[in-house]
């Protein structure tokens, strides 16, 4: 098991080019199951979750090759019949593994998929995934930790309203409907940029998809899919993470390879807190920001403030002149980083579904433990702004979503070393 040693009070300056989005790559890889033609996917992040998904597709029989140096994936499944089982050993660490359920069921009319693992940040039930697939004509049961689904006549398009907004269920429904017979109308969908990226990929393969309202999608199924190439969108959570890092300890940090218009809520929140930003179309420059102001945040589905940046902005709030509040509306257990930040000198109290952050507080290096992906990176940010050295244990969480973060930040000044326990 590995840990990170972060030396505090090192200024960030230079340029960070943002990687492709993990959360966009995973459903795109799942959607490749539908297509027997050649597929080329570029700007693929080399992170543990993506590697696990590639291993899963290989296990199922996919002819898939991941060029780690070029961040490119090639897939060609002509004359291949994939296995329809996604085993526990591969899905136990990755929540997004359930996204293969829809395409397997739609194309092969059956699937056996392990109930997923991933970060322990609260209940993320699969009920909505199963609800949608049942509406499309699947018969589903759960037995011995597996979802077992079949449809003798294939999935058939229908009008479906999701019971509540769910990113994963929207993706599963979207992919399944793309190969189903007839037309599917989905409403109350998630509209995250990563879902728009997935729809762009599916459209390139020949699926007719149209957004007919803010949260409504019309999908015309197509079983004659064509070869395609696709460049994955930028990782907006990585971008937000490094913008906050620049606000905490930066001198002049440029974040490049992004689409600024996608980050409207994050940018407006940071500006409200007094963070100095210079905005370009495809980059943001973050300047040393003093006199941080307290603010209140409610995490919401896109276009609201993302839950995946909640832990990171909490670190910035420890520097604010007053009391800030974060209300977590997506995952009920997503404050597990709070005790670790308090160990470093923060003053944060949890009341119900909200955290109250009392600032400004001076952070000091300590030995801490990562509990999930985004919590782990918040401890890196805290370590950068703290006095002395911080040791972060269980960094395998970090590797699920950030590509060699010690090298990315190390090029801009901080001293971060990966060590063995």
Catalytic residue set:
119
Nearest to 103, CA basis, from 53, 68, 65 = 53
Phi-psi region of 369 (alpha: psi -120 to 50; beta: other; left: phi over 0): beta
Where is 75: in which H helix or E strand?
strand 72-76
Nearest to 382, CA basis, from 395, 404, 365, 398 = 365
CB of 228 closer than 8 Å to CB of 39: yes
Nearest to 106, CA basis, from 167, 35, 38 = 35
Between the alpha carbon of residue 336 and those of residues 120, 147, 385, the distances in Å are 9, 29, 20
Nearest to 229, CA basis, from 40, 75, 67 = 40
Residue 352 DSSP label: T
- How many other C-beta atoms are found inside a 10 Å radius of the C-beta of residue 54? 19
- H helices of 126-227, where? 127-135, 167-178, 193-204
């Amino acid at each position: 098991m590995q840990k990170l040693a972060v030396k505090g009070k090192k200024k960030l300056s230079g340029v960070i080019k943002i990687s492709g989005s993990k959360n966009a790559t995973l459903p795109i890889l799942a959607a490749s199951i539908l297509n027997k033609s050649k597929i080329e996917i570029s700007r693929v992040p080399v992170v543990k979750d993506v590697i696990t998904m590639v291993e899963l597709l290989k296990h199922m029989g996919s002819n898939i090759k991941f060029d780690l140096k070029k961040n490119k994936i090639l897939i060609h499944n002509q004359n291949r019949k994939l296995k329809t089982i996604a085993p526990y050993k591969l899905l136990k660490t990755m929540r997004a593994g359930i996204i293969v359920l829809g395409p397997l069921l739609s194309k092969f009319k059956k699937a056996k998929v392990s109930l997923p693992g991933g970060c322990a940040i609260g209940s993320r039930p699969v009920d909505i995934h199963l609800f949608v697939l049942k509406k499309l004509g699947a018969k589903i049961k759960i037995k011995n930790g597996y979802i077992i689904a079949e449809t003798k006549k294939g999935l058939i398009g229908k009008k479906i309203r999701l019971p509540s907004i769910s990113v994963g269920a929207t993706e599963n429904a979207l992919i399944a409907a793309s190969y189903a017979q007839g037309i599917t109308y989905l409403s109350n969908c998630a509209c995250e940029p990563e879902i728009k990226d997935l729809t762009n990929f599916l459209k390139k393969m020949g699926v007719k998809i149209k957004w007919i309202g803010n949260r409504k999608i019309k999908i015309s199924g197509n079983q004659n899919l064509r070869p395609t190439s696709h460049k994955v969108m930028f990782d907006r959570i990585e971008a937000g993470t490094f913008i906050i890092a620049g606000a905490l300890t930066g001198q002049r940090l440029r974040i490049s390879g992004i689409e600024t218009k996608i980050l409207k809520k994050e940018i407006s929140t940071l500006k409200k807190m007094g963070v100095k930003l210079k905005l370009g179309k495809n980059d943001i420059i973050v300047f040393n920001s003093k006199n941080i102001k307290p603010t209140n945040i409610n995490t919401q589905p896109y276009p609201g403030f993302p839950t995946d940046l909640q832990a990171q902005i909490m670190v910035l709030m420890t520097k604010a002149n007053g009391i800030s509040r974060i209300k977590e509306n997506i995952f009920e257990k997503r404050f597990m980083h709070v005790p670790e930040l308090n160990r470093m000198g923060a003053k944060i109290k949890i009341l119900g579904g909200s955290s109250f952050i009392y600032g400004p507080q001076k952070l000091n290096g300590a030995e801490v433990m990562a509990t999930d992906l985004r919590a782990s990176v918040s401890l890196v940010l805290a370590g950068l702004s703290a006095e002395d050295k911080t040791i972060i244990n269980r960094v395998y969480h970090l590797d699920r979503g950030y590509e060699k973060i010690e090298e990315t930040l190390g090029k801009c000044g901080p001293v971060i070393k990966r060590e063995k326990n």
